[in-house]
Amino acid sequence: MTDDRVIGINNSLPWKLPSDMKWFRQKTLGKPILMGRKTFESFGARPLPERRNIVVTRDQAYQVEGAIVVHSVEEALQAAGDVKESMIIGGASFYAQMLPQARRMYLTQVHTEVTGDAWFPEFDESQWRQVERIDCDADERNAYAHSFIMLERGE
């Protein structure tokens, strides 16, 4: 998300950050990834490899090969199973639905302002503590400075 919480425009990311894609892959590999239908379709409606892809949609007829399609947050959590960590990967309304249950957040803070039509939900930062932060400068491959941040909900 940008400094002003933008996470998307026209159902895609408004930046290209290869280091973010690498970090995302490292953090999600081997874990269930839960997402809304539009997020799934934003990367070509193809399941991401080496992860259990769980797609939440209201469309009862929606089906996709290689992914588990469910119709509620409860079904998504059931499909994820009893695992140490499930990854919520978007979009904006799904983040808002899942945030109250989250114990940990992995955020990429992109240090810029861009036009967007989707925002990460507001959250009470006093309820979270930062346990990891990696700051990255812009370079020839990554157009914007950015930070990888891990937050855990305070007790």
φ/ψ (deg, to 5) at 119? -130, 145
| Dist CA 91 CA 98 (whole Å) | 11
Q: What is the pLDDT of residues 30-88, one digit of tens each?
A: 999 999 999 999 988 899 999 999 999 999 999 999 999 999 999 999 999 999 999 99
Tokens describing residue 110: 């992109």
The average confidence (pLDDT) of the chain is: 96
pTM: 0.93
Which pLDDT score is estimated for 154? Answer: 86
- Hey, what's the torsion of the CAs at 138, 104, 8, 4, to 10 degrees? -70
- Residue 155 — pLDDT band, cuts 50, 70, 90? low
Domain boundaries, the chain: 6-153
The domain defined by 6-153 folds into Dihydrofolate Reductase, subunit A (3.40.430)
φ/ψ (deg, to 5) at 14? -85, 20
